[in-house]
Amino acid sequence: MRLSAHLLAAAWLVGLATAATPVPAECWSPNLSLNATNVDTLTNCTLYSYRCFDNDEGVTFVTTSPPPTDCMKLKSNVFFDDYNMTGALVVPRMVETQQLSIQGQLTRDRNSSGGIDRTVRPLRVDRIEFPDLVNITEFGGISVMYAHNLSSLKFPKLENMRGTLDLDLSEGPAISLSFPNLRLAFSGIWIKGKIDALDFPVLNFSRAINITSIGNLDCVAFAATVVNTTTWPTGYKETPESLFCTSNKNSINTHPVPADESGSSGISWFRGDLLLLVVLVGGVSLVV
């Protein structure tokens, strides 16, 4: 059946796809806010939203593969701040976003003394998993903050991050973290919390790593596995070393050794007499 000119105009206004597939209203914004009821809808936004130039640059849902050559994939920023949701936040099928922000709410109000009162309304979810997420394409990276109940955080397929992996789990329970496929964290890794175990088995590049744990993480053993993924000199006076890690068990502040300094010692992350390495073990300082 042929559509009249009026119907065609109406279809453009509501953003109908070329195959007459309605585009959900949520997909018109590049900023997608997850909650307990819209995970599937917003995941579809990240998978199927395109701008096709034969459609007056309106949003189009393209569900076939490959997409038309005149269509450009729309990028999304994904947020979660639903402090009413409890239990687990699991987001399957989402493969790529520009950035991912998972945060409770922080408000600042001026008090009668002229100061600022900070009020946190933390997230209540206790488990977060993005089982299919592979790429974070912009410098916003991944941030998790004010998630006081969080005891499990999983990104099993995450490979590439253009931004920072920034996890502040300071008020949460003990947690072990593993990123089994993360190869690139371009702007660095910053983690706080009661971290008992931390693993990046295939990491190739991370610029800088900063870990502050009130758990039992073995910082010295951890540093040996990742320090050569960092960049030194850092270029920042306040953070001269590219890897810092402290925990209840021990602490280390170090950087990778350039090839002409490492020689054949076999321990590439240790600078010998040029590096002051302080390892605090059970309150005893050992200077190597």
Interatomic CA distance for residues 195 and 81, integer angstroms = 23
Q: What pLDDT does 59 receive?
A: 82
pTM: 0.81
**Any bridge partners for residue 280, and if so which?**
285
Q: What is the CA radius of gyration of the chain?
A: 23
Q: Where are the domains of the chain?
A: 14-74, 75-287
Cβ–Cβ under 8 Å, residues 67 and 73? yes
Per-residue pLDDT 10s for the chain (288 aa) are 444 444 433 333 333 334 436 788 999 999 999 999 999 999 999 999 988 877 665 788 888 888 888 888 999 999 999 999 999 999 999 999 999 999 998 887 888 787 888 888 999 999 999 999 999 999 999 999 999 999 999 999 999 999 999 999 999 999 999 999 999 999 999 999 999 999 999 999 999 999 999 999 999 999 999 999 999 988 878 788 999 999 999 999 999 987 655 454 444 444 332 233 334 344 433 333
Provide the CA 205 distance to its chain's centre, in angstroms: 15
Query: What is the tens place of the pLDDT at every residue in 38-95?
Result: 999 999 999 999 888 776 657 888 888 888 888 889 999 999 999 999 999 999 999 9
Pick from 190, 136, 183, 198: which is nearest to 168 by CA? 190
Provide the CA 260 distance to its chain's centre, in angstroms: 34
The amino acid occupying position 41 is T
Q: Is 66 exposed, middle or buried (0-12, 13-18, 19+ CB in 10 A)?
A: exposed
Number of residues that make up the chain: 288
Pick from 226, 239, 229: which is nearest to 177 by CA? 226
Cβ–Cβ under 8 Å, residues 39 and 45? no
Residue in the block written with tokens 């009020």: 119
Cβ–Cβ under 8 Å, residues 32 and 75? no
* 157: helix, strand or coil: coil
Torsion angles phi and psi, residue 87, rounded to 5 = 80, -135
Q: What pLDDT does 13 receive?
A: 35
Q: What pLDDT does 261 receive?
A: 54
